[in-house]
Structure 1
Amino acid sequence: MNQASKRIAVVGVGGSMLAAGFLAGPGTSPGLASNHVDAPTQILDPQMDVTDLYAFTSPDRPDTVTVIWNYVPFELPVAPLPWYRFATQGFYDLHFDSTGDGKPELTYRWWYRNGDGSGDPKAKPSSVYPDFGKPLPQGGDNLSAYTGGAGSWEQPPGVYPYTPEATDPYAGRVTKPCAGNVRCKTLFPQAYRLEAIRPGQRPKVLLENAPVGPYGIEPKFAEKWKRAIVPLPGGGQTFSGQVKDPFFFDFRAIALTRVGMPVAPPFDFFTPFNVHSIAIQVPKAELALGGDVQRNPVVGIWATSSRRSLNLLDKAAKPYRQVSRQGLSMFGDSLMPHLLRGAYHNASSPQTDHKWPAMIKAVHHPYASKLLAPGLLSLPPKEPRIDLEQVFLTGIAKSTGPIKMDLTSHVLNRDADRTKIVPAEMTRLNMMTPVTPKPNQYGLIGGDPQGWPNGRRLTDNVTVAFIRMAMGEPAGRGTLLPTWLSPITGPAKRITDSFPYEATPDVRRAVNRTRR
């Protein structure tokens, strides 16, 4: 990179960092866009700070659902800092609720540990993991490299197996073990165990010692990246590693949600940054109630992360405590008042949301609508906002409120017990909604029912969509001003056509863009 490019990179990154203070909004509690920083405790623990959650029908495999959620916000496209990795003294959970009671019928749990074997207290140390010299299983029952046996659910061995010499399926040449081989080593190697947890059953180990992907600055990046896409027993696949942050917004839109006026240039704050991502793709039948997607198309999804507890005095304290939660995008950031965000992330669960009066009040009487109205030359919609309750707490159905369409409510699941369905904040996905050939970035507001808040695609503009919903759409007329045309129309780096769909991490100059 020449000196001029270096100066541009510094200006680009520096401008983004200076904007952070503005994005934090009024008050002392942080509140960056789309949950990149919500609670004060997350500032000091970026490894556990869940930034975004995406859930959608896989466009190239429509019989599956892909869920993506990201951690470690604001990773600069330079040599990785020590915290640019997954946490080892804790775990990451992804929950699925098919009945609507706010309790998960299925949870996937990731335990990470470093290459020296430290981290996961339940796993045996391993001196040779992760071994990127081992070719990935190529379908069928050949899952022994990650589960300890052909399709086995049993507890696998603690050491990741490898062959002394194996044909590299990507380079067409013989690859030796990782010792001294830059082709398969990573800068800070990590690996993980993946468990599937169902109520009343012991956790099933799906993967053991599966590799975390490389950093963008590493040599032979593409080969290492492919090896981090790991098949799952029973179908599906998963990925963990660094990616380009897919979140995007027009700075004018976020200025509206912070100070009530679009007093900012058309500028995407997140252009320079990478994040660490967890992605999983699973058959829809695994998620649907009773395995029947047609009868029970709606599933609720949320992510949590938990740290090892440091409470040494209370013998009744749990060994791990929740430190972060992410349901439907824009809820924790733009609907929950600042003073409630810590409790939302650290001490709340969808099964008890309906018993939290302050949360219900925040939805029925949103401060965002009052803040936005003057800058949009409009009046706040009439309260209580049952339409926002549909979007964030009950799901959208003709029977649940003024948005008259059957889309994301658990009442659409024929086999669900309606007496047990409760208001709960989560991402809801209708798995029977067809994939849109030409997605609209505003999702439902833009006439595209497959987009946000019916799950969330990587190309959905949730910030502008939320502003329009806060002002009354689609149940009412909304703002008197037309939605502005923005040069920020998608992620800073174009997404891909295959799993995990996110772009590879950026290592080029970090320049703020005004058009793609």
Structure 2
Amino acid sequence: MKLILSMVAGVALLGAAQMAHASSHREAPAISKDPSVDNTDVYAFVSPDNPTTVTLIANYSPAQDPAGGPNFYKFDDDALYQIHIDNDGDCVPDITYQFDFNSVATQDHTLYNIGPITSLNDTDWILRQFYSLDRIDAGGTTNLGTSLPTPPSNIGPVSTPNYEALATAAVQSLPGGLLSFAGQRDDPFFVDLGSIFDLLTIRPGAPGNAGGGIDGLGGFNCQTIAIQVPIADLTSDGSTPTDPASAAAVLGVWASANRPETLTLNGDGTQTYSGPVVQYSRLGMPLVNEVVIPLGQKDAFNRSNPVDDGQFLSFVTDPELAGLLNAIYGVSVPSAPRNDLVSVFLTGVSGLNQPVNGTACEALRLNVAIPPASWEDPLGVIGGDVAGFPNGRRLGDDVVDIALRVVAGVLVPGFDGPPNSQLGDGVDCNDRAFLSAFPYVGTPHNGYSHSGHELCPSGPVPVRLLSFELEAVENEVRLDWRTADESAILGFRMERNSASVGPNLIPASSTGSGDYSFTDEVPTRGKYRYTLLEVHRDGTEHVLAQRDIDVRPVAGGLVLSQNAPNPFFGSSTVSFQLGTAGSASLSVFDVQGKMRHQKEWAHLEEGRHDYVLEASEWPSGVYFYRVKTDSGVKTRSMRVVK
């Protein structure tokens, strides 16, 4: 006897677990029954330890209980897992990397393993999985590797005694400087699922910027595919752009899972797939389907292609979530149509990551000409870090807090202050530390000793440091830092090579968070170590951060400093340093891409230049300023407050 299940024209004729086509953490009705092809999250960022490459990550199979034996987790051998890149802004993939999996049972045993697994070739590991990796582009399909190994699930200290060594062995170096990985990792998405979906019951109470949330995915794992690719292999002209305004600089990225449309359940217990291959899930920007697309459209959204996302535009320009924030917490939000959300979630932000003549669609937009931040702000662009979300997405970007604040209108003048700018879910970091090298996603929890809903490993700290940047200009070092949750301290103190410099106490902000700047004149050029200390109310001190810098001539380059003060009202000084004499220009844009100010210099001498920017007539909000010279282009963000 056979039972045949089929999907025709995107509609399931018979309800069954294998017929779903939606994506993210159980965010659509159908995919909640088919986790192996549930595309939960996508990440795209310039690799911090190899900035001539881009790292692309897609996760599937959410909320894996690490103790899920005896049938531990793997990819679906019948599915094709794909990461898509659009390099000309039309929302049609120009390049696709495709992972195709194949499981092999080495022996006929009841259990997943019959002894400790100490290598990827260990004969005690019974059920292994391999994959082939193809690149699909206009030139056809190119195989990049076959029989590439995946690591086992992290079972426990006896079965997988040195798990990270197994995972490291599964990182594959491929021709052309590519790296690939596929296997189980910690689920890197951090969010208080319990509070968000209990009618936004933020704990311990709104606005949600003081911690206290419970990571609903803490302690759970997922399946990860990841590739690290030279930027020149992805751009439309084969270049590695250094100018953020270059037409080749912006990439669109999303992922999908595909499988034949018909499932046959055979009488002997086996199952087979047949028929045309169809898309079961797709995901680019986080949270769009989860909190923007209505319930009745979620499955259709993920069955469709990004190029057709115009049909869902009304759900973005008039989002239900904004109304809930107003109804539940009395948060005043902008009126529809919300064109600010269109730029963040669909088109990219003009002047930052919007492709030239691009099409609106749900895809991550990454400007590969913007280098990695020396210190990542989890609030990304709205926190002043233009290398973060929504310019691509890094593992540490707090997309829940960002999305809540953006939907509340922080990019719209008049809506950028409290409580809109403070909204969050109380979960500010992942439960597992991320790795410093590819594939970056943290070690998966093992089944023997895990506990669910684990929190940030460091726990609460007196001060949360969001950024700490050093910049050398001639014989001066400018130090900028940003903090949150600093109400328990008196202030800060700075040391250079273990000797105190500057004021004995830089007072903490009375608002509980702040932006600070300090300039130190060094005696000679050379290498220096700066230590930022927090000073507690009882007089004790604690090292908050430590950074090294080499003070030397610019040598022909361009250095663009953070404007000061920032945030500001009225005027602020933009400073930049030229390594060689020549022309220069300064342009300032708002988040809608409108140019607010431009200044051009036909000739400037080598050295430092300060320009006082007058913005007293500008609405409050985030702005981007760009300095372009004969030797390069640099972009930073600033914030006007009123």
Q: TM-score range by the shorter chain?
A: 0.7 to 0.9
Distance 1:514 1:297, change over 3 A: same
Q: What displacement does 1:267 show?
A: 1.0
Which residue does 2:165 correspond to in 1? 223
Q: Map 1:145-164 onto structure 2 (within 5 A).
A: none
Equivalent pairs counted in the alignment come to 395
Which residue does 2:501 correspond to in 1? none
Amino acid at match of 1:387: D
Which residue does 2:397 correspond to in 1? 460
Preserved CA contact (<8 Å) 1:93 1:109: yes
Which residue does 2:251 correspond to in 1? 299
Preserved CA contact (<8 Å) 1:260 1:374: no
Distance 1:197 1:79, change over 3 A: same
| CA–CA separation in structure 2 for the residues paired with 1:105 and 1:364 | 28
1:105 aligns with 2:94: yes
Q: What displacement does 1:446 show?
A: 1.2
Which residue does 2:437 correspond to in 1? 498
| CA–CA separation in structure 2 for the residues paired with 1:115 and 1:203 | 25
Preserved CA contact (<8 Å) 1:445 1:468: no
| CA–CA separation in structure 1 for the residues paired with 2:217 and 2:164 | 24
Which residue does 2:585 correspond to in 1? none
Q: Where in structure 1 are there 5+ consecutive unaligned residues? A: 1-33, 118-170, 398-405, 412-417
Amino acid at match of 2:287: M
Which residue does 1:408 correspond to in 2? 353
Distance 1:388 1:83, change over 3 A: farther
Which residue does 2:184 correspond to in 1? 242
Distance 1:497 1:465, change over 3 A: same
Deviations 1:270-306, CA, capped at 9 Å, x for gaps: 1120111111100011111111232311000000101
Which residue does 1:154 correspond to in 2? none
Preserved CA contact (<8 Å) 1:60 1:498: yes
Which residue does 1:191 correspond to in 2? 130
Q: Map 1:66-105 onto structure 2 (within 5 A).
A: 66-80=55-69, 82=71, 84-105=73-94
Which residue does 1:134 correspond to in 2? none
Which residue does 2:550 correspond to in 1? none
Amino acid at match of 2:32: I
Q: What displacement does 1:42 show?
A: 1.1
Higher relative contact order (CA 8 A, sep 6+): 1
Q: Map 1:467-478 onto structure 2 (within 5 A).
A: 467-476=404-413, 477-478=415-416
Q: TM (normalized to structure 2)?
A: 0.58
Which residue does 2:451 correspond to in 1? 510
Instruction: Name whichever of 491-500 and 210-219 sits farther off.
Output: 210-219
1:373 is matched with which residue: 316, 323, 326? Answer: 326
Amino acid at match of 1:499: F
1:340 aligns with 2:320: no
2:309 is matched with which residue: 324, 328, 353? Answer: 353
Which residue does 1:329 correspond to in 2? 286
Which residue does 2:277 correspond to in 1? 320
| CA–CA separation in structure 2 for the residues paired with 1:88 and 1:513 | 31
Preserved CA contact (<8 Å) 1:216 1:506: yes
Preserved CA contact (<8 Å) 1:251 1:266: no
Which residue does 1:483 correspond to in 2? 422
Q: What displacement does 1:188 show?
A: 2.6
Which residue does 2:223 correspond to in 1? 276
The structure with more strand, counted as a fraction of residues: 2
Distance 1:485 1:222, change over 3 A: closer
| CA–CA separation in structure 2 for the residues paired with 1:197 and 1:84 | 27
Q: TM (normalized to structure 1)?
A: 0.72
| CA–CA separation in structure 1 for the residues paired with 2:33 and 2:192 | 27
Q: What displacement does 1:442 show?
A: 1.1
Preserved CA contact (<8 Å) 1:373 1:379: yes
| CA–CA separation in structure 2 for the residues paired with 1:82 and 1:453 | 38
Which residue does 2:237 correspond to in 1? 290
Deviations 1:301-360, CA, capped at 9 Å, x for gaps: 000101112189xxxx962110001011111111111111100112x1112223x2xx01
Deviations 1:80-109, CA, capped at 9 Å, x for gaps: 453611001120111100111111110011
Which residue does 2:144 correspond to in 1? 206
The CA RMSD measured in Å over matched residues stands at 2.4
Preserved CA contact (<8 Å) 2:401 2:423: no
Q: What displacement does 1:215 show?
A: 1.5
Q: What displacement does 1:513 show?
A: 4.1
Secondary structure, in 3 states, of the residue corresponding to 1:360?
A: helix
Q: What displacement does 1:220 show?
A: 4.1
Distance 1:336 1:241, change over 3 A: same
Q: Give the greater-gyration-radius structure (CA).
A: 2
Distance 1:407 1:85, change over 3 A: same
| CA–CA separation in structure 1 for the residues paired with 2:366 and 2:354 | 9
Preserved CA contact (<8 Å) 1:261 1:372: no
